[in-house]
């Protein structure tokens, strides 16, 4: 409660102050106040986190050498330009390759060859699939026929065994 009530009082007084004062303030004064508050916020933030900014990256130590590196680079570029100007150094320019368009007959022939080879591969794959399915169904039907024949033979044998008097019958035989 000790933080809640003062916070509510400050919040309500801020609303009353803004409601009464804000309409009479011009946009120019608002812009000036916002610049002042932004500057104060950036300054305070930098004061609080100065050590983190100083140690944030490894490049910070190299920052002091940047002007010298730039000056040396510019001087070397100027010296190279002067030498190139007075010694007739030229930049080699490669020649353009000859670009020839293929004839339309060769384009259509290659497209048709691709189409025909794709069609042949699809039809051969389809034929092999159909043949393998036929072979599989034939072998399956042959296996089923042989199984039914062997089942009929075993039924005949088991019926002949069932007719004989036998004391021990298994559970499977009864069903």
Structural domain boundaries, residue 76: 4-86
pLDDT digits (tens, 9 = 90+) for 96-130: 777 777 676 777 777 788 888 888 888 888 988 88
Give mean pLDDT in consecutive 10-residue pieces for the chain, a chain of 175 residues.
Answer: 82 90 82 92 90 75 86 92 77 77 73 84 88 87 81 59 54 57
- Res 40: pLDDT: 95
Q: How far apart are CA 85 and CA 104, in angstroms?
A: 50
Domain presence at residue 154? yes
Q: Return the structure tokens found at 162.
A: 């069932």
CB proximity list for 162: less than 8 A, separation 6 or greater: 173
Tell whether 16 and 74 lie within a shared domain. yes
Q: How far apart are CA 15 and CA 9, in angstroms?
A: 10
Tell whether 137 and 80 lie within a shared domain. no
Tell whether 9 and 73 lie within a shared domain. yes
Q: Taking Cα atoms as reference points, which of 125, 128, 126 lies closest to residue 136?
A: 128
């Amino acid at each position: 409660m000790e933080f809640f009530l003062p916070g509510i009082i400050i919040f309500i007084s801020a609303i009353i102050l803004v409601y009464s004062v804000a309409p009479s303030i011009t946009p120019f004064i608002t812009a000036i106040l916002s610049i002042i508050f932004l500057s104060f916020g950036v300054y305070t933030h930098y004061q609080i986190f100065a050590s983190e900014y100083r140690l944030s990256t490894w490049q910070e130590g190299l920052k002091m050498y940047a002007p010298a590196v730039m000056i040396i680079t510019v001087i070397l570029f100027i010296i190279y330009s002067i030498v190139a100007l007075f010694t007739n150094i030229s930049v080699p320019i490669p020649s353009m390759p000859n670009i020839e368009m293929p004839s339309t007959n060769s384009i259509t022939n290659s497209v048709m060859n691709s189409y025909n080879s794709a069609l042949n591969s699809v039809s051969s794959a389809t034929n092999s699939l159909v043949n393998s399915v036929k072979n599989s169904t034939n072998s399956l039907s042959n296996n089923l026929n042989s199984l039914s024949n062997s089942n009929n033979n075993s039924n005949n044998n088991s019926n002949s065994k069932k007719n004989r008097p036998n004391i021990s019958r298994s559970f499977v035989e009864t069903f």
